[in-house]
Amino acid sequence: MIARPAGIIAAAATPLRGDLSVDTPRLVAHLQRLLAIGCDGINLLGTTGEATSLPVAARVQTMRAVVDAGLPVDRFLVGTGAAALEDAVTLTRAACDLGFGGALLLPPFYYKGIDTPGLVDYVGEVLRRVAHPRLALYLYHFPALSGVPWSLETVTVLKTRFPQPLRGLKDSSGDLAYSVQIAREVKDFDVFPSAEGALASPDAALFSGCISATANVTAPLAGAGWHAKDATTRAARIGDAAAVRGAFTSLPLIAAIKETLAELYQDAAWRQMLPPLRSLDAEESAKLRAALASTPFESVRSRFA
């Protein structure tokens, strides 16, 4: 059986060129660095990667470039969600064909108020059209942006109806109680909260790791915590990672991650964003630097040199 992605998984930021195309050499170098300094896997082309602002062809091209670079994509989840059914099918099929460890699927996110039968029909149609023996599907729960939740009822029905291809869920709701409930009640199902601090909670043993935007920065701390042999070290390192994450909370998250990567790599190109998102202004950048200065951020700087 193919091993499932687990552990510290960075929701990787996507570097862009001035013409707003994906800068694949920078991306590959960043992914290699993350895997070398503490990440067990990568979530490619997710929210932090600005994927829904990229055309389908660019997303597939980026997947291929990562595979061609020789990265261990069996440890990667790749975002395949799209508003149009056939776009989601195209992306999910590409993820399977290229050997990624799993496809991370948003619900269809234009129409709101979609009920369980509608979502079950949607996932069933994706699975029917992709029809790939390697298909490993993970649900992406981010109702603040998608406007459509993967409810416990929906997840339970989906896992019952499609037990083999449906492998798990990323929870970006920020509601740890939801993650815990899904992990407890849905069997043979990998649950990934989106914040490092969840791995220090009393229910951490229920989770298969975390998929975090801030792992672009906290990888050394979070990785050390996840793999620690003793509870004291685990709590300390996860606490350090959570403290660094806290510095980002009052700022636009993706722009703040890219600003921090620009500093860590000494590479201003990392600040480029896809409209309508924008990079941090000078005041926001100063606020971020001040917030990071009160955390263990300096302990990770040398790992990016």
Structure tokens given for 297: 């951020």
List all residues 6 or more positions away from 7 whose beta carbon is below 8 Å from its beta carbon.
39, 40, 41, 208, 209, 223, 226, 227
Domain for residue 296, yes or no? Answer: no
Structure tokens at 291: 């917030």
Beta-bridge partner residues of 211: 9
Does residue 2 have a pLDDT over 90? no
Q: What is the CATH number of the domain that holds 224?
A: 3.20.20.70
**CA-closest candidate to residue 65, choices 101, 41, 29:** 29
Inside any domain, residue 295: no
Q: Is residue 259 part of a domain?
A: no
The whole-model pTM stands at 0.96
For the segment 145-167, what is each residue's pLDDT rounded down to a tens digit?
A: 999 999 999 999 999 999 999 99
Domain count for the chain, please give it: 1
In a domain, 302, yes or no: no
Domain assignment present for 288: no
CB 13 within 8 A of CB 257: yes
Q: Would residue 269 count as lying in a domain? A: no
**pLDDT 10s digits, 169-219:** 999 999 999 999 999 999 999 999 999 999 999 999 999 999 999 999 999
| Domain assignment of residue 226, given as a range | 7-249
- Whether residue 79 is contained in a domain is answered as yes
